[in-house]
Every structure is written in structure tokens, then in C-alpha cells.
């Protein structure tokens, strides 16, 4: 039984685990506890053959608030509901991948004596991981830096992000074909700000477009996000920059990433997993609007390892972004060093390692 929600960064690792388990055990039965209105309610049912249950839950306010009393009530009700689902489905192991919904699901399993594992994708732990780490059998982490926040955990396992296992199998030729780029040696610079885009990145790229013609050998692929596409497209004359493609969204992101030379983007956990599994150099512009500012911690850690350059939003404009791009594009030694550093951090077998661990803890219950 899996649980995780709120953002794709929690949902996609859970589904990557589900696929890896199904690959090893085709007859496995899998269930998922999510929320009715969360993103998981749209994504998980499309996966097929996963029984989907829902609870009502909300997050804690980080400041003192009477609303937290209501949050506790909802948490306790969600724990009771999760116990009903667990009693009905009878899982051998329960896995949480973050988001508030995984709290009651995993805690209920712990109280019922069922083996539990949680997976943390970011450097800085989310509130749910902090809470559950003292109860679960195993805390799996994507990045080694997370260990210093886990003094109360029973067992810590450095696995990497299971999303990496899927990305490393991507097809670069298919990625180039989908972009209409026929030259296999033409470097692709991919710029994106997440599925909805990022205003700060969009503004910096617009300022930078006149400079792109200075690097005619490079193909820039700029993903605006569907929300911003029409507005951005209207600001770019079609013949203004022949080596620039402007897209609203990319549906085959793993394949496109496999064909990419350099990435400019946010520093979410899934992005880090993709970059490191493929050995991709990057310029990361962390979102300052996420909980606990975890993207900055992610980006700073990758920069410290030599795999990335971090630009804070307050530092990011067309000129600063262009200068960082040129340093990497025009110096093959810098690019190679960043690529090797990223690859050293990658964990392409993350999903398989997690399945191995799930086997171990599930067998403790069976025995």
C-alpha cells in the first residue's frame, strides 16, 4: 500500500516504486491512499490496477493558529479511516512518499504492526517525514545530505529517488525526434520552470533571447508552462531567433532530457533525480515559494558537489543567466566536470534497491 500526494514530486516516486514492484512481481496487488481533490486523484487512477482510497487531511500551519486544532482532528479521523482501508486491503508493507496524506496512512500502519517505509526526496525533510521518522521501520533518502536531519530514525537507507530508474532508460533519439532536431550532434539547452512555468525564469529568458543568435550551433528549447505560453509566444517574433523553440509543455520529458546538453530549471526533487541519473549539468533557479525553502537547499547541495550552478531568483536576470550559460557551453572541460559530478550523485538503480528493502521488511511480517 502506497501513500503520497499534493505534488508530482511525491506522487511520481510512489508510482515508480509501484512499477518496479510489478516488474518483479506481476501478480502483486497495490493500493494507494490519497485525497479526493489532490493531484494524486487524477494521476494514480490512470496508472491502472491500483486500488485508490481517499481520506480528508490538511497541512499544519507553521505559525500558531487555531486552524491547527482542526488539522489534528482531521488527522485523527484520517488515521481511523486508514486503519479501515488497511484492514480491508491487508497489505504486507505500507510506503509513504511524502505530502500530508501519507502521515495518517503510514502512522496507522505502524500502530497496526505492519512494516513501514517512508521515502524522502529532498535534502531538507518535510514535516510528514520528520513526524514519521521516529515510528517507521526504514527511512529511505534520495540525497545523502538528509541523514543529518534523521537522528531519531531506526534505519536510514540511501537509495536515491526511484524516478531516476525510469529516466535513465529514456531514449535520446526519440527525444530529438519529438523536438524536430535531426542533427544528433547539435547541443540542446533545455529551459523550463515546472509544469506551470515560472515567471522569474520566463522574464530572464525573454531578456536573453536577443543574445541566443550569438550561439548558432546551439538549439535552445524553452518550455514556458501552459499558463504563460500565449503571453510569452506573443512577445517573441517568429523569425527573431532561428535557434529557439518555444513550447508550452513537454509530455516525454525523460526522452528530451536524455538528448539534452544543459538544463536550466527549478530544483525540485524529481528534477534533481533526473539530472543526476543522466549526468546532466545544470543551472538551477530554486523556487523561493515552496515549503521550508527546500529547493534552495537542494540546489545549494548540488552546486557544492560541482554538478550545478545555483542562481537565486533575486540574482537571476537575462544578463546573469546568459553569462552562466556561456561559461558552461563554451568550455567543454567545465561541462564534462559538471556532468561527471552529477553522474556520481545519480542512483539509477533506486527503484530496485527500494524493492529489495520492501521485500526484507515485508518478509518480517510474513515470517
Q: What is the DSSP string of 82-144?
A: HHHHHHHH--S-EEE-SSTTHHHHHHHHHHTT--EEEEE-SSSPPHHHHHHTTTSSEEEESSG
Distances (CA, A) of 257 to 60, 191, 192, 283: 36, 11, 11, 14
Q: How far apart are CA 100 and CA 37, in angstroms?
A: 13
Among 273, 258, 271, 123, CA closest to 192: 271
- CA dihedral (152, 154, 160, 166) positive or negative: negative
| Annotated binding-site residue? 122 | yes
For residues 94 and 105, the answer to whether their CB atoms sit within 8 Å is yes
For residues 337 and 306, the answer to whether their CB atoms sit within 8 Å is yes
| Annotated binding-site residue? 250 | yes
| Annotated binding-site residue? 195 | yes
| Annotated binding-site residue? 271 | no
Task: Return the C-alpha cell found at 351.
Answer: 527503484
| Annotated binding-site residue? 7 | yes
Q: How far apart are CA 216 and CA 98, in angstroms?
A: 43
Distances (CA, A) of 58 to 75, 100, 163, 194, 286: 8, 7, 26, 24, 25
* Phi, psi dihedrals of residue 291, rounded to the nearest 5°: -60, 130
Q: Which residues are annotated as a binding site?
A: 7-9, 122, 195, 250, 295
Annotated binding site for UDP-N-acetyl-alpha-D-glucosamine: 7-9, 122, 195, 250, 295
Amino acid at each position: 500500500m502506497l501513500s503520497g500526494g499534493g505534488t508530482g514530486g511525491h506522487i511520481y516516486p510512489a508510482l515508480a516504486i509501484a512499477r518496479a514492484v510489478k516488474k518483479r512481481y506481476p501478480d502483486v496487488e497495490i493500493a494507494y491512499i490519497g485525497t479526493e481533490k489532490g493531484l494524486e486523484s487524477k494521476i494514480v487512477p490512470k496508472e491502472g490496477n491500483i486500488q485508490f482510497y481517499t481520506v480528508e487531511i490538511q497541512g499544519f500551519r507553521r505559525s500558531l493558529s487555531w486552524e491547527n486544532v482542526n488539522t489534528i482532528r482531521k488527522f485523527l479521523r484520517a488515521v481511523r479511516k486508514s486503519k479501515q482501508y488497511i484492514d480491508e486491503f491487508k497489505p504486507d508493507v505500507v510506503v509513504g512518499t511524502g505530502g500530508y496524506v501519507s502521515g495518517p496512512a503510514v502512522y496507522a500502519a505502524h500502530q497496526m504492526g505492519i512494516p513501514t517505509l517512508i521515502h524522502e526526496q529532498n535534502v531538507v525533510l518535510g514535516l510528514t517525514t520528520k513526524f514519521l521518522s521516529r515510528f517507521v521501520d526504514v527511512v529511505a533518502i534520495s540525497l545523502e545530505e538528509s541523514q543529518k536531519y534523521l537522528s531519531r530514525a531506526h534505519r536510514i537507507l540511501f537509495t536515491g529517488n526511484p524516478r531516476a530508474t525510469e529516466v535513465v532508460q529514456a531514449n535520446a533519439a526519440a527525444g530529438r525526434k519529438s523536438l524536430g532536431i535531426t542533427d544528433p550532434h547539435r547541443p540542446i539547452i533545455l529551459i523550463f520552470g515546472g509544469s506551470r512555468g515560472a515567471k522569474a525564469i520566463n522574464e530572464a529568458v525573454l531578456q536573453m533571447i536577443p543574445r541566443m543568435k550569438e550561439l548558432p550551433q546551439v538549439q535552445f528549447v524553452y518550455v514556458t508552462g501552459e499558463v504563460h505560453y500565449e503571453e510569452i509566444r506573443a512577445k517573441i517574433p517568429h523569425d527573431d531567433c532561428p535557434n529557439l523553440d518555444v513550447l508550452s509543455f513537454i509530455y516525454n520529458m525523460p526522452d528530451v532530457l536524455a538528448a539534452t546538453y544543459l538544463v536550466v530549471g527549478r530544483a525540485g526533487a524529481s528534477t534533481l533525480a533526473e539530472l543526476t541519473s543522466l549526468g546532466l549539468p545544470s543551472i538551477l533557479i530554486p523556487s523561493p515559494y515552496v515549503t521550508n525553502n527546500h529547493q534552495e537547499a537542494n540546489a545549494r547541495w548540488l552546486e557544492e558537489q560541482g554538478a550545478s550552478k545555483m542562481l537565486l531568483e533575486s540574482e537571476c536576470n537575462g544578463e546573469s543567466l546568459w553569462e552562466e550559460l556561456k561559461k558552461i557551453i563554451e568550455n567543454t572541460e567545465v561541462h564534462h566536470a559538471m556532468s561527471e559530478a552529477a553522474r556520481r550523485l545519480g542512483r539509477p538503480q533506486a527503484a530496485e534497491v527500494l524493492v529489495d528493502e520492501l521485500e526484507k521488511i515485508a518478509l518480517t511480517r510474513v515470517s
